[in-house]
Amino acid sequence: MTGVPHAGSLVVSDWHRCPDSKEYFSKILHKKRRKRFGLLESPVMPPHVPVDTVHYKIFLSGKSGVGKTALAARLAGLNIPTVHHETTGIETTVVYWPVKLRESGRVLFFRLQLWDCGENALRRFDHLLPSCKDQVDAVLFLFSFTDRTSFDDLSNQITKWTESSAGCVKVVVGTKFDLFMHCDVSGREVRDFQEKWSLPVLRTGGEVTDVLGDVAPILNCLSENLWHQDCVTAGSLSRPSQPETTAL
Amino acid sequence: MFGGGQGAVLSSCETEAGGGVVWRVFQDSVMLIAVSRGGGKEEQVRLRRLLENVWSCMVLVLGQDELVHVKNVERLKKELRSCFSLIDLLLEEKLEGILGSLTHCADSLLPPNASVLQETVDGFARAADSEFGCLIVHGRIASATEKWWRLAPQEVILLSAFVRSLSSSGSASCDYPVFLPQGSPTVAHRLLRFQLLPGADVCVLCGPTPPLHEAEAQLVGRFWSPLVETLRECLALGERCLPGSVTLRPDVLALLLINRETRRSVCCVQMFPHHHTLSKTRRWELLRSFYTFSTSRYFSQEEAACGPPEERALVGDFLQGFSHQPQQCYLVTEECKSFGLQTPQHQLFLLSPPDVPTFALRTVATQTLLLLPLMN
């Protein structure tokens, strides 16, 4: 690991606001909402605009009730469940996100598959965790601003994952940021945490008002870190591994 | 409690205002109580079935052991919330055109390209080390392996409902431990589900292998990519569930066909031609209540005959007075005319407009039965 890239140094942040991004983002939208893709589908660009798709597996880690399932739904633009219940197995959600690389100006579709599994299910059934860990590219560590213990537990979780899956990208996301009346974690503590671990910490919560803007900070940050990691692994800042092109 | 001491079993009661309360204790551990506004025999049949289904949902998600040997009630209450969305599906019954939880016959869709889908489901399941595979389109079974049909009818229906609830969340795939309420209530199997297209899911029940990631990366594309167009055709059938080649008589407003041997069913509402004012929702309601009416009074049901005593008692007094079985029945109301027909292999229930002469109903039904692909 060679640290974390500076936000916006590798990918164009807020690219969804630029006019040149429109034809790409239109492929993941349908009637002003996010488009749903089955496993046999992917965003299709016209033949004269070839775009590579890069695939990643991301695990959502965090205490029961912090909002792992809700975050996955939010990032994919699906209906966010209103009542909490334990996820009793593994559920994966696929998110397509177009990204423009700053240096080359090249556009890529990131296919982020989010792996979500309830904590109780992980404890009760031994086969679930290995399946989640296998070939994982990134872990999103979740804590809830309304649950102190979920924040205190972060260090433990990060250490555990650092030992078992060395080269994977780590990003921290604080959920339920909108419920400031019940806030249990202060801004200062979050800053201290960020300094100590030098990991990106993002916030989410509340109603979705802007279908792209709501998720752009998290998805861009995640994509940038994944891309950086690939570049480090490949040993150069040029194109890392062979692109996995859209096959379907 | 007083009755219990005397060896009597009390299992339901009705309120003065016409409401009904029905209850049942499962495995000497959990008592489920259903309360409804309507009373009467039909409603009791429905509530009994509901209780049984709700219990099975709980077993499916949590396993029987958790429910029977309760160590911590508070924890169990929390865990039970995982079944709520599934139970809601059964309670709401708003999902039009899904009658399986009532009929205990699997809601099916008759795809235009049945043999190709069958081969692919079989091959896909085999490649995933499983004998149990199923393709579900719009919540109805479009194709399934032979072994899937040998699961208990109730399990087939609950698994369909489970997949429907998972599918509607929009997730791409999942690996859920599930307990089969009758086949394996204490040992979990893995249910792998893949959303091929929004609305079309394939699932397999399997053992420890293959891992989800592997099945998805290696098998989904290989087996299903060539069938994208076929799957889209199935999705396009929508609620009609019948291939486009089947043209129903214009005087059929809605129908439910059950294959009594395979315990599969298809049902549909015909909105064209526009000569009738009954809304789609109302037609489904009428079809449901006519089914309950006929089966609780005239057509005995295979499972009811061997079910618990209180359910047997519900098979109408009418039936008990005769040595023979009614083959046909009809009901005329202001809204529509309904006709039911049973043969050793099938049951057909249909609704016609009130202006169809009552004596013609039988002809409408027999002709329709001949017209339908019989799901053999």
Range A227-246 average pLDDT:
66
Mark whether B139 and B225 lie in a shared domain: yes
d(CA B358, CA B277): 19
A129-145, pLDDT tens digit by residue?
Answer: 999 999 999 999 999 99
Does residue B245 sit within a domain? no
B28-87, pLDDT tens digit by residue?
Answer: 889 999 988 876 777 887 888 889 999 999 999 999 999 999 889 998 998 899 999 889
| Interface contact flag, B166 A91, Cβ < 8 Å | yes
| Interface contact flag, B212 A92, Cβ < 8 Å | yes
- The closest of B162, B172, B112 to B139, measured between CA atoms, is B162
Q: Note the pLDDT of residue B301.
A: 59
Q: Note the pLDDT of residue A6.
A: 81
CATH number for region A51-234: 3.40.50.300
Does residue B100 sit within a domain? no
Chain A, nearest residue to B217 by Cα: A39
Q: Note the pLDDT of residue B151.
A: 95
What Rg, from alpha-carbon coordinates, does chain A have? Answer: 18
Question: Which residues in B lie closer than 8 A to residue A135 (C-beta atoms)?
Answer: 213
| Interface residue of B212, B223, B234, B235 to substitute, partner A, most A CBs within 10 Å | B212
Does residue B249 sit within a domain? no
pLDDT at A189 over 50: yes
User: Taking phi first (over 0 means left), then psi (-120 to 50 degrees means alpha), and beta for anything else, what does residue A96 get?
Assistant: beta
| Least confidently predicted of B53-62, B90-99, B118-127, B240-249 | B90-99
| Interface residue of B87, B176, B194, B203 to substitute, partner A, most A CBs within 10 Å | B176
Q: How many CB pairs below 8 A link A and B? A: 102
Mark whether B85 and B208 lie in a shared domain: no
pLDDT bracket for residue B319 (50, 70, 90)? low
pLDDT at B195 over 60: yes
Last residue of a domain, one of B240, B274, B302: B240
* Angstroms from B21 CA to nearest CA on chain A: 28
d(CA A171, CA A166): 14
Mark whether B267 and B328 lie in a shared domain: yes
| Interface contact flag, B225 A40, Cβ < 8 Å | yes
**Domains in chain B, number:** 3
Does residue B2 sit within a domain? no
Omega before B210 cis (within 30°)?
A: yes
Chain B, nearest residue to A70 by Cα: B169
| Least confidently predicted of B38-42, B287-291, B315-319 | B315-319
Q: Note the pLDDT of residue B307.
A: 47
Does residue B4 sit within a domain? no
| Higher-confidence position of A83 and B344 | B344
| Interface contact flag, B221 A248, Cβ < 8 Å | yes
pLDDT bracket for residue A240 (50, 70, 90)? very low
d(CA A60, CA B106): 35
Q: Which among A78, A94, A135 has the least Cβ separation from residue B169?
A: A78
What Rg, from alpha-carbon coordinates, does chain B have? Answer: 21
| Higher-confidence position of B157 and B14 | B157
Mean of per-residue pLDDT scores for chain A: 88
Mark whether B90 and B120 lie in a shared domain: no
Q: Note the pLDDT of residue B135.
A: 97
Range B5-14 average pLDDT:
78
ipTM field: 0.90
Q: Note the pLDDT of residue B13.
A: 82
Q: Output b/e per residue, B87-118; b: 16+ Cβ within 10 A.
A: bebbeebebebbbbbbbbbbbbbbbebeeebb
Q: Which among A86, A113, A127 has the least Cβ separation from residue B79?
A: A86
pLDDT at B304 over 50: no
Q: Note the pLDDT of residue B226.
A: 96
Mark whether B232 and B260 lie in a shared domain: no
Domain of B321, CATH number, reads 3.30.450
| Interface contact flag, B197 A93, Cβ < 8 Å | no
Mark whether B82 and B147 lie in a shared domain: no
pLDDT at A23 over 80: yes
A202-221, pLDDT tens digit by residue?
Answer: 988 888 888 898 899 999 99
**Quick one: CA dihedral B103, B107, B110, B116, positive or negative?**
negative
| Interface contact flag, A41 B197, Cβ < 8 Å | yes
B270 and B353 Cβ atoms separated by less than 8 Å? no
Q: Note the pLDDT of residue A246.
A: 45
Omega before B273 cis (within 30°)?
A: yes
- Tokens 């599934």 belong to residue: B86
Domain that includes residue B345, residue range: 254-371
Last residue of a domain, one of B240, B275, B307: B240
Domain boundaries, chain A: 51-234
pLDDT bracket for residue A84 (50, 70, 90)? confident
B294 and B279 Cβ atoms separated by less than 8 Å? no
Q: Which among B81, B173, B176 has the least Cβ separation from residue A39?
A: B173
Q: Note the pLDDT of residue A248.
A: 43
Q: Output b/e per residue, B22-42; b: 16+ Cβ within 10 A.
A: bbbebeeebebebeeeebebb
Mark whether B37 and B128 lie in a shared domain: no
Mark whether B181 and B260 lie in a shared domain: no
Q: Note the pLDDT of residue A166.
A: 74
B324-348, pLDDT tens digit by residue?
Answer: 788 999 999 999 999 999 998 999 9
Q: Which among A37, A89, A135 has the least Cβ separation from residue B175?
A: A89
Mark whether B234 and B261 lie in a shared domain: no
Mean of per-residue pLDDT scores for chain B: 87
Mark whether B73 and B113 lie in a shared domain: no
Q: Note the pLDDT of residue A49.
A: 86
* Angstroms from B140 CA to nearest CA on chain A: 18
Residue A49 amino acid letter: V
pLDDT at B274 over 80: no
Last residue of a domain, one of B184, B208, B240: B240
Give the pair of three-digit tokens for residue B5. 């001491």
Phi and psi at A156, nearest 5°, equal -55, -50
Q: Note the pLDDT of residue A179.
A: 81
- Residue ranges of chain A whose CB lies within 8 Å of a chain B CB: 36-41, 57, 72-73, 76, 78-79, 81, 83-94, 113, 118, 120-121, 124-125, 127-128, 130-131, 134-135, 247-248
Question: Which residues in B lie closer than 8 A to residue A39 (C-beta atoms)?
Answer: 172-173, 194-196, 216, 220-221, 224
| Interface contact flag, B175 A128, Cβ < 8 Å | yes
Angle between helix B40-62 and B280-297 (nearest 10): 100
- The alpha helices in B180-253, defined as continuous H runs, are 212-214, 221-224, 228-237
User: Exposed, middle or buried: residue B11 (CB in 10 Å: 0-12, 13-18, 19+)?
Assistant: middle
Q: Dihedral angle at the C-alpha atoms of B255, B260, B265, B269, nearest 10 degrees?
A: 0
Q: Note the pLDDT of residue A247.
A: 42
- The closest of A130, A128, A198, A191 to A170, measured between CA atoms, is A198
Range B351-363 average pLDDT:
93
| Interface contact flag, B170 A85, Cβ < 8 Å | no
**Quick one: CA dihedral B144, B145, B146, B149, positive or negative?**
negative
Angle between helix B153-168 and B73-92 (nearest 10): 90
Is B235 an interface residue toward A (CB < 8 Å)? Answer: no
Question: Which residues in B lie closer than 8 A to residue A245 (C-beta atoms)?
Answer: none
Mark whether B13 and B73 lie in a shared domain: yes
B54 and B90 Cβ atoms separated by less than 8 Å? yes
| Interface contact flag, A85 B84, Cβ < 8 Å | yes
Q: Note the pLDDT of residue A22.
A: 92
Contacts for A49 with CB less than 8 Å, ≥ 6 apart? A23
Q: What is the pTM of this model?
A: 0.90
Chain A, nearest residue to B214 by Cα: A131
Q: Note the pLDDT of residue B102.
A: 86
A167-186, pLDDT tens digit by residue?
Answer: 889 999 999 888 877 888 88
d(CA B303, CA B374): 21
Give the pair of three-digit tokens for residue A201. 């910490």
- Tell me which DSSP letter residue B218 carries: I
Helix H, strand E, coil C: the string for chain A is CCCCCCCCCCECCCHHHCHHHHHHHHHHEECCEECCCCCCCCCCCCCCCCCEEEEEEEEEECCCCCCHHHHHHHHHCCCCCCCCCCCCCEEEEEEEEEEEECCCCCEEEEEEEEEEECHHHHHHCCCHHHHHHCCCCEEEEEEECCCHHHHHCHHHHHHHHHHHCCCCEEEEEEECCCCHHHCCCCHHHHHHHHHHHCCCEEECCCCCCCCCCCCHHHHHHHHHHHHHHHHHHHCCCCCCCCCCCCCC
Q: Note the pLDDT of residue B326.
A: 85
Mark whether B264 and B355 lie in a shared domain: yes
- Tell me which DSSP letter residue B278 carries: -
